[in-house]
Chains A and B, each alone.
Chain A
């Protein structure tokens, strides 16, 4: 008989997905309009995060106002491109494909000894370059697709995945993105496949991270709320899992901030001189 283990205290992550979807659609619309944009551009990887972002953007702006980009490299899994097409079709958004192989290989050929990991990061940054250029071409603002779990783990390529100025999913754990994906009608094969950055052949997120997302997310939520380790272990998580999650968060704070600036004045930007990013004056 099949034994299914529940995830302890997973209900702390429960959301009302119609309410969340409605709020995120409004967020996309208002943040774009506030910046003078009517259209958005989304790089669609074939994974669940970009699928959800595309669905929200299509609902918020109308599919005709969303540009979906598929940005494969020759080493990318063919399934990723197939799933990108499937998602674009499902949400009625036209998909443009730009092959980044030449961009990446142009650099890699001049760089003997480049490792798969470094090349993966170059791929992610090449995708960022294309996305921002398409933003200029279509006058469409790039939408980020990074979720809260990968942001907290620093599990993304710095100045690539995190670069779009508007990110609807950044405060949703991966578990919650899956829930939202089901509500929005993201195809099952995308929701239920093992998450992967697809930067190296055979790569999966959970193998890289060393912990299952559904368990990590509950640990993260309790850790961020200040519960001590012993409490989290008491819920049914192992000390090793808790330590791993905390280590990943605490080794990557720099990736969630602007660069450190040497402060020599009492008007240092974002230290003394504090203004929210949407600040204006009448002048």
Chain B
């Protein structure tokens, strides 16, 4: 069993130091829970909507790692893995990035730079950020994992690629402003659950969604973090709009029997070469 904590936190806009302290306090409060992997939402250290301010507030990956590693060394005897979304500066380029940090161990294990930058409606990411160009799964202390950030996950082809690469869990830091108030929950929250259940059920893997909360000048980040299991079931769900910590155990041992009974991923591997020429044609015609 791999104990996960999804930290559905509310940052103060631009207050990186305070926000990291808030995260650290939340993690220390969980010490008795024996957490293996903590997952923090998209853009948590700064808040999501920065416009041009991303240039002032983006961090180098090593800078973020150093801040958290120093703190970890002071307070922990054993490693803690942390998935965290942040705005990354790399030379003159800026990315919406998720880092997988093995604190007290290998340090920065992997980083995923968001590929699908929403630039429509209330969103304006591509004006201020560069696109990532890679999607690769990676090995953690607990198995194979992948990270997708927010809209990356709304295109299910990305999760399919991660599954084909062997991912047993997909971490999804997100920041999703609530919209569509016609039902019991905001429409975007319902969409997230539908997607997470569909993806986890199709590929027989876990999905851990950590979603930001807080009002950013009227844009209400919706929360509703959840963890979905390999049969497409929601194992745990956080409330909407308010800060919460969601704790759930991930059992990699469940994946092989589930995939045996529902061999969609194996079937995909068998059938993909048959349909790939069509996919290539579509891509070539873009």
* Pairwise interchain contact A279-B50, C-beta atoms closer than 8 A: yes
* Pairwise interchain contact A30-B215, C-beta atoms closer than 8 A: yes
Whose C-beta in chain B lies nearest to the C-beta of A166? B218
* Pairwise interchain contact B57-A23, C-beta atoms closer than 8 A: no
Name the contact of A280 in the complex, choosing from B10, B13, B49, B218 (C-beta under 8 A): B13
* Pairwise interchain contact B181-A273, C-beta atoms closer than 8 A: no
Kindly list chain B residues whose C-beta atoms are within 8 Å of the C-beta of A27: 215, 218, 220
* Pairwise interchain contact B15-A26, C-beta atoms closer than 8 A: no
Bound complex: CA of A120 vs CA of B12, how far in Å? 41
Shortest B45–chain A CB gap in Å is: 10
* Pairwise interchain contact B12-A19, C-beta atoms closer than 8 A: no
* Pairwise interchain contact A281-B14, C-beta atoms closer than 8 A: yes
Q: Is B17 an interface residue (CB 8 A)?
A: yes
Bound complex: CA of A278 vs CA of B10, how far in Å? 14
Shortest B68–chain A CB gap in Å is: 16
Q: Tell me which of B50, B178, B182, B214 has the highest count of chain A C-beta atoms within 10 A of its own C-beta.
A: B182
Kindly list chain A residues whose C-beta atoms are within 8 Å of the C-beta of B53: 275-276, 279, 281
Residue interface mask A72-110, B partner, CB < 8 A = 1: 000000000000000000000000000000000000000
* Pairwise interchain contact B50-A19, C-beta atoms closer than 8 A: no
Q: Is A1 an interface residue (CB 8 A)?
A: no
Shortest A141–chain B CB gap in Å is: 14
* Pairwise interchain contact A276-B216, C-beta atoms closer than 8 A: yes
Shortest A171–chain B CB gap in Å is: 8
Name the contact of B186 in the complex, choosing from A19, A30, A279, A282 (C-beta under 8 A): A19
Name the contact of A281 in the complex, choosing from B51, B56, B218 (C-beta under 8 A): B56
Bound complex: CA of A273 vs CA of B185, how far in Å? 36
Kindly list chain A residues whose C-beta atoms are within 8 Å of the C-beta of B182: 14-16
Q: Is B184 an interface residue (CB 8 A)?
A: yes
Q: Is A262 an interface residue (CB 8 A)?
A: no
Name the contact of A277 in the complex, choosing from B10, B185, B186, B217 (C-beta under 8 A): B217
Q: Is B52 an interface residue (CB 8 A)?
A: yes
How many residues does chain B have at the interface if contact means C-beta atoms less than 8 Å apart?
31
Residue interface mask B220-241, A partner, CB < 8 A = 1: 1000000000000000000001
Supposing A23-B220, A275-B53, A276-B51 touch, asked if A31 and B215 sit within 8 A by C-beta, the answer is yes
Q: Is A274 an interface residue (CB 8 A)?
A: yes
Q: Is A34 an interface residue (CB 8 A)?
A: yes
CB within 8 Å of A: which B32-78 residues: 47, 49-53, 56-57
* Pairwise interchain contact B218-A31, C-beta atoms closer than 8 A: yes
Supposing A26-B220, A275-B53 touch, asked if A16 and B183 sit within 8 A by C-beta, the answer is yes
CB within 8 Å of A: which B12-34 residues: 12-18
* Pairwise interchain contact A276-B15, C-beta atoms closer than 8 A: no
Main secondary structure of the interface of B (DSSP, over half): loop
Kindly list chain B residues whose C-beta atoms are within 8 Å of the C-beta of A280: 12-15
Q: Is A20 an interface residue (CB 8 A)?
A: yes
Kindly list chain A residues whose C-beta atoms are within 8 Å of the C-beta of B18: 282
Bound complex: CA of A203 vs CA of B217, how far in Å? 34
Kindly list chain B residues whose C-beta atoms are within 8 Å of the C-beta of A279: 13-14, 50-51, 53
Residue interface mask A113-126, B partner, CB < 8 A = 1: 00000000000000
* Pairwise interchain contact A30-B214, C-beta atoms closer than 8 A: yes
* Pairwise interchain contact A281-B57, C-beta atoms closer than 8 A: yes
* Pairwise interchain contact B16-A15, C-beta atoms closer than 8 A: no
* Pairwise interchain contact A275-B52, C-beta atoms closer than 8 A: yes
Whose C-beta in chain B lies nearest to the C-beta of A176? B181
Bound complex: CA of A279 vs CA of B49, how far in Å? 9
Shortest A120–chain B CB gap in Å is: 29
Kindly list chain B residues whose C-beta atoms are within 8 Å of the C-beta of A20: 181
Name the contact of A23 in the complex, choosing from B12, B178, B216 (C-beta under 8 A): B178
Whose C-beta in chain A lies nearest to the C-beta of B222? A23
Name the contact of A34 in the complex, choosing from B12, B181, B242 (C-beta under 8 A): B12
Supposing A30-B214, A281-B56, A282-B17 touch, asked if A276 and B49 sit within 8 A by C-beta, the answer is yes
Supposing A23-B241, A26-B215 touch, asked if A282 and B50 sit within 8 A by C-beta, the answer is no
Shortest A198–chain B CB gap in Å is: 28
Residues of A participating in the B interface, judged by any CB pair closer than 8 Å: 14-16, 19-20, 22-23, 26-27, 30-31, 34, 273-282
Q: A273-B52, A276-B50, A280-B14 are in contact. List 20 more A-B contacts (CB 8 A).
A: A19-B183, A19-B184, A23-B186, A26-B241, A27-B218, A34-B12, A276-B217, A278-B47, A278-B49, A279-B13, A279-B50, A279-B51, A279-B53, A280-B15, A281-B15, A281-B53, A282-B14, A282-B15, A282-B17, A282-B18
Query: Could you show 26 A-B contacts with beta carbons less than 8 Å apart?
Result: A14-B182, A16-B182, A19-B181, A19-B183, A19-B185, A19-B186, A23-B181, A23-B241, A26-B215, A26-B220, A26-B241, A27-B218, A27-B220, A30-B10, A30-B215, A34-B13, A275-B51, A275-B53, A276-B13, A279-B53, A280-B13, A281-B15, A282-B14, A282-B15, A282-B16, A282-B17
Question: Top 7 A-B pairs ranked by shortest CB distance?
Answer: A280-B14, A30-B215, A274-B51, A274-B52, A278-B217, A278-B13, A276-B49
